[in-house]
């Protein structure tokens, strides 16, 4: 059976890349935030699109999620470097 590989950062859709950039910029500007705060800020209509974006950013190590009571999310050095690139 063929193994399905996760998408690489450059293989995501343009809309997703823009969303990723927005999340990274928000975390860079505002510092670490609880997971729920990001959900409310970026997905007020509860479409669950933010869940996929956060999972991808965590997978690629652009953000880090601490296993505390708030599940705090922060941008990593790789995330800051990715934010500086023009193609995201």
Residue 83: pLDDT over 50:
yes
Residue spans per domain, the chain: 13-84
Do the bridges between strand 72-75 and strand 63-65 make them parallel or antiparallel, or are there none, so unpaired? Answer: antiparallel
**pTM assigned to the model:** 0.79
Q: Answer yes or no: are the C-beta atoms of 19 and 42 closer than 8 Å.
A: yes
pLDDT, tens digit (0-9, with 9 covering 90-100), for 20-48: 999 999 999 999 999 899 999 998 888 88
Domain 13-84 CATH assignment equals 1.10.10.10:
yes
Please give the structure tokens belonging to residue 33.
């935030």
For residue 32, what pLDDT is reported?
A: 96
Q: What are phi and psi of 69, to 5 degrees?
A: -65, -30
């Amino acid at each position: 059976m063929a193994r399905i590989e996760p998408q690489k950062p450059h293989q995501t859709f343009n809309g997703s890349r823009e969303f990723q950039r927005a999340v990274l910029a928000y975390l860079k500007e505002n510092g670490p935030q609880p997971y729920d705060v990001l959900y409310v800020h970026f997905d007020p209509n509860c479409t669950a699109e933010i869940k996929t974006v956060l999972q991808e950013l965590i997978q690629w190590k652009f953000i880090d999620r601490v296993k505390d009571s708030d599940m705090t999310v922060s941008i990593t050095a790789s995330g800051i470097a990715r934010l500086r690139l023009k193609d995201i």
